[in-house]
Structure 1
Amino acid sequence: MKILVVDDDPGIRELVRITLQDAGYGVVAAADAIAALMLLDAEQPDLAIVDVMMPGMDGFALTKELKSFRDIPVLLLTAKGALEDKERGFRAGSDDYVVKPFEPKELLFRVEAILRRYRKDEEARIQAGPLEIDRQSYEVTCGSRTLLLPLKEFELLAILASRPNVVFEREMLLERVWGLDYEGDDRTLSVHIKRIRDRLEGLTDQVEIVTVRGVGYKLEVRP
Structure 2
Amino acid sequence: MSILVIEDDPKTGDYLRKGLKEGGYGVDLARTGTDGLRMALERPYDLVILDVMLPGIDGWRIMRALRERRDVRVIFLTARDQLDDRIHGLELGADDYLVKPFSFTELLLRIRTLLRRGVATEPDLFEFGDLRLDVLHRKVTRDGVEIALTNKEFLLLRLLVKGRGSVLSRTQIASEVWHMNFDSDTNVVDVAIKRLRAKIDQPFERKLIHSVRGIGYTFGEEP
| TM-score in terms of structure 1 length | 0.51
**Alignment match, 1:10:** 10
Shift of 1:43: 2.9
Distance 1:4 1:84 in 2: 25
**Alignment match, 2:31:** 31
Q: Which amino acid aligns with 1:4?
A: L
More helix by share: 1
State the identity as a percent.
41
Shift of 1:80: 2.1
Compare 112-121 and 94-103 and name the one that shifted more: 112-121
Query: The residue matched to 1:17 in structure 2 has which SS?
Result: helix
Unaligned stretches of 5+ residues in structure 2: 122-223
**Alignment match, 1:20:** 20
| TM-score in terms of structure 2 length | 0.51
Shift of 1:42: 4.3
Distance 1:72 1:94 in 2: 9
Compare 40-49 and 74-83 and name the one that shifted more: 40-49
CA contact (8 A) 1:67 1:73 kept: no
Distance 2:110 2:30 in 1: 21
**Alignment match, 2:70:** 70
**Alignment match, 1:88:** 88
The higher radius of gyration belongs to 1
Distance 2:33 2:111 in 1: 20
The CA deviation string for residues 108-146 of structure 1, in whole angstroms up to 9 with x for no partner, is 01111111124475xxxxxxxxxxxxxxxxxxxxxxxxx
Distance 2:90 2:112 in 1: 18
Q: Is residue 2:106 matched to residue 1:117?
A: no
Query: The residue matched to 1:94 in structure 2 has which SS?
Result: coil
The CA deviation string for residues 183-209 of structure 1, in whole angstroms up to 9 with x for no partner, is xxxxxxxxxxxxxxxxxxxxxxxxxxx
Query: The residue matched to 2:117 in structure 1 has which SS?
Result: helix
Q: Which amino acid aligns with 1:18?
A: K
Distance 1:120 1:69 in 2: 24
Query: The residue matched to 1:101 in structure 2 has which SS?
Result: coil
Distance 1:119 1:69 in 2: 22
Q: How does 1:90-105 map to 2 (within 5 A)?
A: 90-105=90-105
Unaligned stretches of 5+ residues in structure 1: 122-223
Query: The residue matched to 2:4 in structure 1 has which SS?
Result: strand
Shift of 1:48: 0.1
CA contact (8 A) 2:78 2:99 kept: yes
Shift of 1:103: 1.1
Shift of 1:40: 3.1
RMSD: 1.6
Equivalent pairs counted in the alignment come to 121
CA contact (8 A) 1:61 1:92 kept: no
Shift of 1:2: 0.2
**Alignment match, 1:55:** 55
Distance 2:26 2:115 in 1: 14
Distance 2:118 2:37 in 1: 21
Q: Which runs of 4+ in 1 moved over 2 A?
A: 40-43, 118-121
Q: Which amino acid aligns with 1:43?
A: R
CA contact (8 A) 2:34 2:55 kept: no
CA contact (8 A) 1:48 1:74 kept: yes
Distance 1:40 1:51 in 2: 14
